[in-house]
Amino acid sequence: METTTPKAPLRRMQAMRLTDAAAARVRTTMEAANGAVVGLRVGVKNGGCAGMSYTMEYAAAINPGDEVVEDKGVKILIDPKALLFLLGTEMDVKEDKFSSSFVFHNPNETAACGCGESVAITPAKIGA
C-alpha cells in the first residue's frame, strides 16, 4: 500500500512591502487624515510620458477584490487591476533637503521618463 505525505500549504507571496520609513510616513499621514480611513489605496493609472504612473489615496472602505496588505502596522489596499503591475514592489520614502516623497522600487518597471513622473511597467509573470 502506497502512502502519500501531505503537501505543505503554499505560502502566498505578499504583493507589496514597505520599508520602516514608508510605514512610519503612511501611519503619520493616515492619523492626520480627515474622516474615517481604513487604509491607503495604491494603484497605477495610464498616463505620463512613459505610460503609467503610481496613484495613492485614502481609502474609506475596502472594495470587493482589493488585495489587502498589512505590513509594519499599516494597511495598504491594492485594486485588483493594478495587482500584477505592483507585485513584488517595495514602497519607500525619499527625503532630501527640500522635499520628501514616496518612491516605489518595482521589479516590473521596464523604463522611466526623465522627469520621474511616470514609468513603463509590465505585468508580473506568475509562476515564471
Q: Where are the alpha helices (DSSP H) in 10-105?
A: 20-31, 83-86
The cell numbers describing 127, all together, are 509562476
Q: What is the pLDDT of residue 64?
A: 93
Q: Where are the alpha helices (DSSP H) in the chain?
A: 20-31, 83-86
pLDDT at 114 over 70: no
Encode pLDDT of 12-61 as tens digits.
667 899 999 999 999 999 988 887 899 999 999 887 776 788 899 999 99
Whether residue 126 is contained in a domain is answered as no
Burial 26-59 (b: 16+ CB within 10 A, else e): beeebeeeeeebebbbbbbeeebebbbbbeeeeb
pLDDT at 8 over 60: no
Instruction: Indicate the residue type of 8.
Output: A
Total structural domains in the chain?
A: 1
pTM recorded for the entire structure: 0.78
- pLDDT band of residue 121 (cuts 50, 70, 90) is confident
Whether residue 38 is contained in a domain is answered as yes
Instruction: Indicate the residue type of 44.
Output: V
Whether residue 9 is contained in a domain is answered as no
Whether residue 81 is contained in a domain is answered as yes
- pLDDT band of residue 1 (cuts 50, 70, 90) is low
Partners of 103 in the β-ladder: 92
Encode pLDDT of 51-85 as tens digits.
788 899 999 999 999 999 999 999 999 999 999 88
Range of the domain at 88: 16-121
Nearest one of 32, 76, 25, 29 to 54, comparing CA atoms: 76
Q: List the CATH number of the domain containing 34.
A: 2.60.300.12
Q: What is the pLDDT of residue 9?
A: 56
